[in-house]
């Protein structure tokens, strides 16, 4: 009898563990696009971040204004030490944008030489790709 019970629990344990090793979740295409865009930013290729941005971004701000703002942000924060995905969510409407669309808001917990921060990117689906529509970095308090 003990042998039957032992076999039962062994089979139950094996079946339970069959689902334990799962493939890692697939990266969201917007996260991939955001990381590619951030690589341009990290390399100080500010004009290319503007060119790679969404149509709305390019119409809303001049290349010169965009690059000047990014230079200022980089001067204040210093070089990137670390960046980890913090949050990603989809939405159909972004405040202050004229028309609805398919958007993803991606946030990274980032650590720069001068301060820890939270980077927020808004990406819009245009054609078959995700393009950055907005970028913001804010200081993160040590207790956050």
Domain CATH number, residue 60:
3.10.450.100
**Residue indicated by tokens 């820890």:** 116
Please state, rounded to an integer, the average pLDDT across all residues of the chain.
82
Indicate whether 127 pLDDT > 70.
Answer: yes
The tens digit of pLDDT for each residue in 69-107 reads 999 988 888 889 999 999 999 998 877 766 788 999 999
Q: What six digits make up the tokens of 25?
A: 């979740």
DSSP class of 37: H
Is pLDDT at 53 greater than 80 in this prediction? yes
The range of the structural domain enclosing residue 77 comes to 26-138
86 in any annotated domain: yes
Residue 132 · residue 54 · CB < 8 Å: yes
List the structure tokens of 70: 């990014």
35 secondary structure, DSSP code? H
The domain total for the chain is 1
């Amino acid at each position: 009898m003990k042998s039957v019970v032992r076999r039962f629990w062994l089979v139950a344990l094996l079946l339970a563990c069959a689902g334990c090793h799962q493939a890692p979740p697939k990266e969201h295409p917007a996260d991939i696009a955001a990381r590619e865009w951030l690589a341009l930013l990290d390399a100080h290729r500010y004009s290319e971040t503007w060119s790679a941005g969404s149509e709305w971004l390019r119409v809303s701000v001049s290349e010169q204004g965009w690059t000047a703002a990014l230079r200022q942000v980089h001067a204040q924060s210093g070089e990137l030490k670390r960046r980890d995905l913090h949050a990603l969510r989809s939405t159909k409407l972004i405040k202050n944008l004229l028309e609805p669309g398919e958007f993803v808001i991606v946030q990274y917990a980032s650590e720069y030489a001068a301060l820890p921060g939270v980077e927020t990117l808004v990406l819009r689906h245009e054609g078959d790709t995700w393009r950055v529509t907005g970028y913001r970095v804010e200081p993160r308090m040590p207790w956050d």
